[in-house]
Amino acid sequence: MRQLFLIPLLWVLAAPVWADARAQVLMDVLRIDEVAVILQAEGVEYAETINQDMLGGQGGAGWQLQVDAIYNPQRLTETLRAHLDAELQGDMREEVIRFFATEPGAQVIKLENAARAAIGNEDIEDAARTKFAELEGTNDPRLARITALIDGGDMINRNVTAAMNSNYQFMRGLGDGGAMDMTDGEMLAEVTDQQDAITEDTTGWLYGYLLLAYSPLEDAALDQYIAFAETKAGIALNRALFDGYGAAYAEISYALGRAVALNMVAEEL
């Protein structure tokens, strides 16, 4: 009788460990740690632009320490893990793992990350945007496939929403840090005024990035990826990633705005 009670107890104890293990496998096949490092590099470069534009290049070592803490890759990966866990459980998680642990899913992730790292170079970004501009409005079959992927995932609207929220959070950080005197309504109005410009910029960047990323991918492989993205698991993954990145960048933007404000106020004292 003791064994009969012991076996269910072991299953109860093992279940969270198994769940954690599969959650880590999901993170691994999506190469989230690699993405976080790429985004950290982007953030550090952006922070240097802010240092030049808003702090007169006088941020110094203290500013760099603040930036390193704000763009800590572990913070990003943990935020993404939480959203992936919330959206993907059981069979759906296993379906995502199966797709991205094999071809063409594994190749898609590899190409996306390589393109994301490369497009941080201004010349490469300009070339990618130019490629899209040349194809825009044509019947190019590759452009049509990428449009299907973007539209299916509502990627432009999701990116624009995330960008606008990040801008709003940055302004909140500035305000809470004492560097800007605007009401919440005034901040929202200013961000809303940016929507058309953000949408245009996002469209050019996103199409350029995906054209660059998938350029080595065969049409059949891209079609497989588009088909997966339309499944229940693919839709949940897209939602989890956008929500996760959106939450992470909202937090980062607020922290960055507050750090800028504290440095600006300190300079005035």
What are the structure tokens assigned to 111, written together?
Answer: 């190409």
- 14 pLDDT exceeds 50? no
Instruction: Classify residue 36 as left (phi > 0), alpha (psi -120 to 50) or beta.
Output: alpha
Q: So what's the pLDDT on residue 4?
A: 36
% of the chain with per-residue pLDDT over 70: 92
Q: So what's the pLDDT on residue 160?
A: 96
Q: pLDDT tens digits, residue range 198-235?
A: 999 999 999 999 999 999 999 999 999 999 999 999 99
Q: So what's the pLDDT on residue 266?
A: 73
∠ at Cα 92 (91, 97), nearest 5°? Answer: 95
Burial class (CB in 10 A: 0-12, 13-18, 19+), 181: exposed
Pick the closest to residue 59 from 252, 253, 266, 269 (CA basis): 266
Please give the backbone phi and psi of residue 121, each rounded to the nearest 5 degrees, phi first.
-80, 125
pLDDT-based confidence at residue 240 (cuts at 50, 70, 90): very high
Q: So what's the pLDDT on residue 1?
A: 33
* Distance from C-alpha of 87 to C-alpha of 98, rounded to nearest angstrom: 17
- 11 pLDDT exceeds 50? no
